[in-house]
């Protein structure tokens, strides 16, 4: 999945490559994909996109927001796959689910793997879009303080039995831009088992979790995202996850215990049964 560090990396690269370009034509791609979610039909995409100029591009949580002047914005997010820039048509992938063809004959394509949202909204709708806006502060914002995070965790009651994994990556209070990918390393660093009940986590553990979120995001952003994902130029990011499918069955780097895998809440969880209580 494209999580916050990948979003920021790609948004920065898009500002460099396509900001100021005018769209000659655009479409919903050449391939049907059941889990590509659009908010408009193909005709509307083909009608709205031509003649628009790419304005500022920003990253917010799991979303890349591209202003299309005048009056619109393209929202890409909650997505697995690739967002690629092409100097010419030779590198365009076989299957894609959005194409922008610019007047200088360069291109942007989006190819979804798994699922993803591609939306064109009016500018006035961006701030209230039900997918692209979050109720929780971004973990990299200045206002995401320990007190704020502590209060958020304490808002869960014991009877809810909500697990830490559920809290972090699902529901209205999920951590913006953090998905199942970075979650593995965050919980490993915080020494918390993915199934632990949120309301039963101690203050010391909340502190550790807060630090783990900050550290993991900072490191991954500096390294341009995960090495399992591609940037705008089809290059891998520089962040290697501590726990992933390749580390299952291998010794924990802290204590040597074998890393385990469980299927939990619609995705794999990897953990050290000794370090993560
Ligand atoms: Zn361990």
Q: Which residues of the chain are under the pLDDT cut of 70?
A: none
At the top level of CATH, which class does the domain 4-128 belong to? alpha beta
What residues sit around ligand 1, an ion, with C-beta below 5 angstroms?
Answer: 252, 254-255, 257, 272, 274-275
Q: What does the pLDDT look like over 160-206, one tens digit per residue?
A: 889 999 999 998 889 999 999 999 999 999 999 999 999 999 999 99
**Cβ count near 98 (within 10 Å):** 23
pLDDT in the model for residue 270: 97
H/E segment holding residue 16: helix 4-17
Q: What does the pLDDT look like over 132-160, one tens digit per residue?
A: 888 899 999 999 999 999 999 999 888 88
Classified by CATH at the fold level, domain 146-271 comes out as: Helicase, Ruva Protein; domain 3 (1.10.8)
**Cβ count near 16 (within 10 Å):** 10
pLDDT in the model for residue 80: 96
Opening angle at CA 29, ends 27 and 31, nearest 5: 150
pLDDT in the model for residue 132: 87
pLDDT in the model for residue 165: 96
Each domain of the chain, given as residue ranges in start order, spans 4-128, 146-271
pLDDT in the model for residue 159: 83
Q: How remote is the CA of residue 123 from the centroid of ligand 1, in Å?
A: 48
pLDDT in the model for residue 7: 98
Cα–Cα distance between 265 and 169 in angstroms, integer?
10
Q: How remote is the CA of residue 171 from the centroid of ligand 1, in Å?
A: 29
pLDDT in the model for residue 172: 82
Q: How remote is the CA of residue 182 from the centroid of ligand 1, in Å?
A: 18
Q: How remote is the CA of residue 131 from the centroid of ligand 1, in Å?
A: 37
pLDDT in the model for residue 134: 85
Q: How remote is the CA of residue 190 from the centroid of ligand 1, in Å?
A: 12
Q: How remote is the CA of residue 186 from the centroid of ligand 1, in Å?
A: 14
pLDDT in the model for residue 143: 96
Q: How remote is the CA of residue 43 from the centroid of ligand 1, in Å?
A: 54
Widest pairwise Cα distance in the chain: 59
Q: How remote is the CA of residue 237 from the centroid of ligand 1, in Å?
A: 26
Question: Which pTM value belongs to this model?
Answer: 0.95
Q: How remote is the CA of residue 80 from the centroid of ligand 1, in Å?
A: 30
Q: How remote is the CA of residue 242 from the centroid of ligand 1, in Å?
A: 11
């Amino acid at each position: 999945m494209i999580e916050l560090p990948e979003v920021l990396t790609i948004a920065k690269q898009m500002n460099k490559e396509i900001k100021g370009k005018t769209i000659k034509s655009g479409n919903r791609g050449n391939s049907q994909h059941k889990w590509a979610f659009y908010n408009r039909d193909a005709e509307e995409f083909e009608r709205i996109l031509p003649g628009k100029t790419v304005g500022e591009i920003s990253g917010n949580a799991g979303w890349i927001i591209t202003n299309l002047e005048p009056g619109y914005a393209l929202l890409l997010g909650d997505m697995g796959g690739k967002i690629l820039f092409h100097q010419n048509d030779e590198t365009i992938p076989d299957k894609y689910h959005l194409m922008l063809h610019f007047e200088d004959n360069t291109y942007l394509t989006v190819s979804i793997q798994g699922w993803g949202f591609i939306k064109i909204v009016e500018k006035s709708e961006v701030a209230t879009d039900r997918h692209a806006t979050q109720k929780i502060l971004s973990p990299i914002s200045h206002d995401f303080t320990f007190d704020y995070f502590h209060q958020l965790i304490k808002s869960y009651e014991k009877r809810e039995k909500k697990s830490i994994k559920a809290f972090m990556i699902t529901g209205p209070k999920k951590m913006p831009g953090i998905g199942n990918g970075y979650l593995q390393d965050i919980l490993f660093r915080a020494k918390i088992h993915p199934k632990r009940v949120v309301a039963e986590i101690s203050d010391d553990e909340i502190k550790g979790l807060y630090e783990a979120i900050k550290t993991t995001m900072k490191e991954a952003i500096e390294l341009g995202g995960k090495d399992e994902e591609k940037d705008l130029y089809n290059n891998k990011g520089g962040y290697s996850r501590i726990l992933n499918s390749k580390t299952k069955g291998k010794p924990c780097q802290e204590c040597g215990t074998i890393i385990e895998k469980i299927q939990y809440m619609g995705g794999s969880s990897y953990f050290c049964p000794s370090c993560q209580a």
